[in-house]
Chains A and B, each alone.
Chain A
Amino acid sequence: MIELHLLILAMVVSFGFVFSYLAMKEHDLLKALALSSVQSTFFALGFYILAAPDIVLAYLAIAVGAYTALVILAISKTERFEVGE
């Protein structure tokens, strides 16, 4: 039965990896931030699966809420597109 938990965990980390890779490759910072907040949402599910409700509460408020808002603020005050190599 514990396999179900671990299966969801494996799914979560796989999605997280894919989305963080895409976030790294993306040159539009707003899109990169959106992709990384998808990763954050998946990780929140991961913490939830791993039986850590305290972390879920803190992590959601930070990673989905305050951090995203902060970086959007930073993007809006700086530039939106990353200059390529």
Chain B
Amino acid sequence: MNVQSVFYTSLYFVAVLYTFAFVLYGIRAIKGPTTADIIMAVDCLSFDMAAFMVILGIYFRSILLASGAIILALWAYMLDVYYTKYVLYGEVEV
């Protein structure tokens, strides 16, 4: 029972927690009475997904796949900006 195995076992629980979080975000995204709620849920879900990807990358010991997480975080930011601008102004560009 060394540190490494404890670490990897704990990652299991982290994965379960993340799945649970996805379910919660999903419920908010489905029920969300206003559009803002849905956008918030999608945003949180995307950023959590990025974090989850990094954790999986540690678990599978592959740094290669972690690059996707950075990209996902950036694109989720763009997604937010677009939704927000549409909801605020009704137009996106101009």
Contact = CB atoms under 8 A, between A and B. Distances in A.
Taking the complex as a whole, does A directly touch B, i.e. does some CB pair lie under 8 Å apart?
A: yes
Dominant secondary structure at the A interface: helix
Interface in A48-80: 48-49, 51, 53, 56-57, 60-61, 64-65, 68-69, 72-73, 75-76
A34 B83 contact: yes
22 contacts: A8-B15, A11-B19, A18-B26, A30-B35, A34-B29, A38-B41, A38-B42, A41-B45, A41-B46, A48-B53, A48-B56, A49-B56, A56-B65, A57-B67, A60-B68, A60-B72, A64-B46, A68-B82, A69-B82, A72-B86, A73-B93, A76-B91
Contact of A61 (B29, B64, B71, B87): B71
B26 A38 contact: yes
Given A30-B35, A38-B29, A73-B93, 19 more contacts: A8-B15, A15-B22, A22-B30, A31-B35, A34-B39, A35-B30, A38-B42, A41-B42, A41-B46, A41-B72, A45-B52, A48-B53, A48-B56, A48-B68, A56-B65, A57-B71, A60-B75, A65-B75, A76-B90
